[in-house]
Amino acid sequence: MSIHFSNGIKISGIVIKTHYNNATPLLISLEDCSVTLNDQFLFRPEWGVYDLACGSRIVSVFGGPADWTAYYKNKKQKENTISQSSNLTEENKSLNELYSMVREMREKNIEKKEYIPVLEKLNNSFPNDWLLLMEIYEMILTEKHLSKKAMEIHHQLKEMISTGTQYSDIIERGLAVIRSQ
């Protein structure tokens, strides 16, 4: 596929996936993709898969609108606006590091047994963090040599559901999604 925009941007690559909403493409994933503006590379094939967002306008993105004029059309802006703040604290810094480790392990397809030390750190320091627990469960579930650990994690998650935590429904749905894969 090759697209040439009037502003000089050229996109060429092989379509590997397209996400639709009501028969309208929202996102096109391309491999071996190059994006150039005149002679300048904006994206190179060796950088991985290129995701091309499709649409005629962008109304909003996380952290605020991409197009202030369109987003605040017919609205008066308040003089005292509150800026985005980070939820990173000294308390959750090490939890964020565990999330980063698991993400990196998943992306690099690290051996599944390497998730166990992260699991132990998680259970020792953040026993109520269900999301990372579920991600580790998903990663080790199909490994026969880790089936005992997977069962322990499943039991932990079921225990969290039974305590009536505010996340019970989410945890239950997450387990259903993992089982359906």
Q: What is the pLDDT of residues 33-92, one digit of tens each?
A: 999 999 899 999 999 999 998 887 766 556 666 676 776 676 665 666 666 677 788 878
**Residue 40, exposed/middle/buried by CB under 10 A (0-12, 13-18, 19+)?**
exposed
Q: State the pTM of this model.
A: 0.53
Tens digits of residue pLDDT in 111-131: 999 999 999 999 999 999 999
Biggest CA-to-CA distance, the chain: 61
The predicted structure's pLDDT at residue 164: 84
pLDDT at res. 77: 55
Higher pLDDT among residues 54 and 140, named by residue: 140
